Amino acid sequence: MITSAQLKALIEALSATVAAHAAELTDLDSAIGDGDHGANMKRGFDAVAGEADAISAKPEAEALKAIGTKLVMTVGGASGPLYGTLFLTLGKELTVSPDDYPAALRRAVDAVAARGKSAYGQKTMLDVLYPVAEAVEANKSKAEIVAVAHDAVAATRDRKAIRGRASFLGDRSIGHIDPGARSSALLVEAVAGVL
């Protein structure tokens, strides 16, 4: 179980990481999307951080659901519902099976895939989340999980976007890093740095 202090540190780390990389995420999104990913993510995680005390006082599963709800309400664009679904589903799954983090993460990633009507390999955040879920299931170390996330981001450069706004570019999406994959890897790294 994650303690209240860890939850608060986690929220602060997520918010700080997104803020530090907001311009980078916007630049990545400007190349193949609508250029608002960094600003949207920062707005959402700033809103979560603004309620860090109240959220971290909740039990772990309820805190994750509160984070997800706040992200849905504040991030905007496609990322709000997708990241919101990730955290909401994590919370719901940990309510049922409090100690089974690998299974909870797998089901949360599957929920994101269902919500976005997407799959691994389509140049989306799933290209990071699925390899990370597999690494967690394989009981990899934190350093290995972070490395998997960053390697997965790099792999999106050579993929053609099949889903999301970048898919409208067709072959022109090849050669660019997916911004959702990059933000996912940043969040994974922030989580690994706290837990």
Domains of the chain and CATH, by start: 4-194 (1.25.40.340)
pTM confidence score = 0.95
Mean pLDDT of 5-13: 97
Mean pLDDT of 156-163: 93
Task: Compute the chain's Rg from CA coordinates.
Answer: 15
Cα–Cα dist 75/70, whole Å: 8
pLDDT 10s digits, 27-49: 999 999 889 999 999 999 999 99
Which residue from 137, 40, 46 is spatially nearest to 82, judged by alpha carbons?
40
CB contact at 8 A, 170 and 148: no
Q: What is the pLDDT of residue 1?
A: 75
87, 88, 113, 127, 167 from 63: Cα distances, Å: 9, 9, 22, 26, 34
Q: What is the pLDDT of residue 56?
A: 97
Would the pLDDT of 168 be above 90?
A: no
Would the pLDDT of 89 be above 90?
A: yes
Would the pLDDT of 73 be above 80?
A: yes
Using pLDDT thresholds of 50, 70 and 90, give the confidence band for residue 149.
very high
Angle at which helices 126-137 and 142-155 cross, to 10°:
150
